Amino acid sequence: MPALSPRKSVGSIHMKPGFYAVVGNSDYIRLNKRRIPIWELLDEQPTGWLRSLTSRSTVMPDRQPMIWDCGAFGYRNLDLPQIRGRFVTAHFCIYQYARLSKPGDAIVAPDCLLIGSQIDQRRKFNREQAIEFIKLAVSQLPEQVPMAAVHGLTLAERIQRAIELYEIGYRAVGIGGLVAGARNFHSSLIAIAATIEAIRQIDTNVHFHVFGLCSPRYARAFHQLGVSFDGSTYAKEAFIARNFLMNECGRLVRYPAARTDTKAIAPRCCCRACKILRQYQIDPRYYGKSRQHDIGRLAHNLNQLLLAHSHATSRLAASGLFQLQC
């Protein structure tokens, strides 16, 4: 397949490695009749943020690095990808990204996870949409960074797919489809590192992003590999599992949130989110009283994840700031 000749800056990607937190539908808390987004409750900011086209975010980070994703995980069980009744195609995504993104943002080509009974159809969709998407991105959004995701049922397929995307013209490559096997750390890391190495033998300037894996253990490995990554497990822990996370030497410890009529077992925390919210009698260690507690717990959990990342990558190794309790 002949390589396209995308604009020069596609070949000189300036995406930053590091963690991209995920923007949800309503990532804010109301204080004094004002919407306070969760990023204003963080002790430190992530490298950037990722938003999926499947979400309907009411607040967005301002002037932060962004990755705009087509939302394949959200429609993973559909053989014909759809978002709110509209088919997901290269043209659909480009139209949405033109409305939402800014120069310098990464924009992801539509893709499907390789699951279900229509694997070959999904492979064909991924291939065709990646080709069409980069053509549209280069002509219509020349200041954004086109990215396409690698999927494969074997390591050989993943490597071959990465090479194909490079030959098409992509200089930002995502690695997807690994969330279901996230607990298999070593096999996942082998698949990621081998895919990256295959391309870096050709071109060391290609940027890689790993979708959906963000534990401190993965963060340490990704820091060494020099890639970006995203994940939203901190939000799922807050809302679904109702866990209050605490960083302990780069390891996240889960404390179940307490009902408002019982005593919290989680330690008192002095992260920015907890300190600010306590002034308004909001304690993220509890649930059941209002949405404020749950959003506060989301912000707190993200603070703890970022601290754990910092510890895991040794950026704060000498500071002793890994345990914010009071």
Q: What is the distance between the alpha carbons of residues 200 and 263, in angstroms, rounded to a whole number? A: 53
Answer whether residue 318 shows pLDDT above 70. no
Q: pTM of the entire structure?
A: 0.91
Residue given tokens 């992260």 in the structure block = 271
Q: What is the distance between the alpha carbons of residues 273 and 254, in angstroms, rounded to a whole number? A: 17
- pLDDT at position 165 is 98
Q: What is the distance between the alpha carbons of residues 82 and 86, in angstroms, rounded to a whole number? A: 5
- Domain covering 8-16+65-231, topology: TIM Barrel (3.20.20)
Answer whether residue 246 shows pLDDT above 90. yes
Answer whether residue 319 shows pLDDT above 80. no
- pLDDT at position 14 is 80
Pair 297, 325: CB distance under 8 Å: no
Pair 30, 161: CB distance under 8 Å: no
Where does the pLDDT of residue 226 fall: very low under 50, low under 70, confident under 90, or very high at 90 and above? very high
DSSP 269: B
Q: Which of 92-96, 119-123, 178-182 has the lowest mean pLDDT?
A: 178-182
Answer whether residue 7 shows pLDDT above 90. no
For 260-266, what is the mean pLDDT?
A: 92
Could you report the per-residue pLDDT of 148-189, keeping only the tens digit for each? Answer: 999 999 999 999 999 999 999 999 999 999 998 999 999 999
How far is C-alpha 135 from the chain's CA centre?
25
Q: What is the distance between the alpha carbons of residues 68 and 70, in angstroms, rounded to a whole number? A: 7
Q: What is the distance between the alpha carbons of residues 274 and 271, in angstroms, rounded to a whole number? A: 5
Share of the chain above pLDDT 70, in %: 92
For the stretch 294-310, what's the b/e string if a residue is b when 16 or more beta carbons lie within 10 angstroms of its beta carbon? bbbbbbbbbbbbbbbbb
Residue given tokens 């679904």 in the structure block = 240
Where does the pLDDT of residue 124 fall: very low under 50, low under 70, confident under 90, or very high at 90 and above? very high
- pLDDT at position 208 is 98
Q: What is the distance between the alpha carbons of residues 108 and 130, in angstroms, rounded to a whole number? A: 9
Mean pLDDT score across all residues of the chain: 91
Could you report the per-residue pLDDT of 274-310, keeping only the tens digit for each? Answer: 999 999 999 999 998 788 999 999 999 999 999 999 9
Q: Tell me the domain boundaries of the chain.
A: 8-16+65-231, 237-312
- pLDDT at position 6 is 41
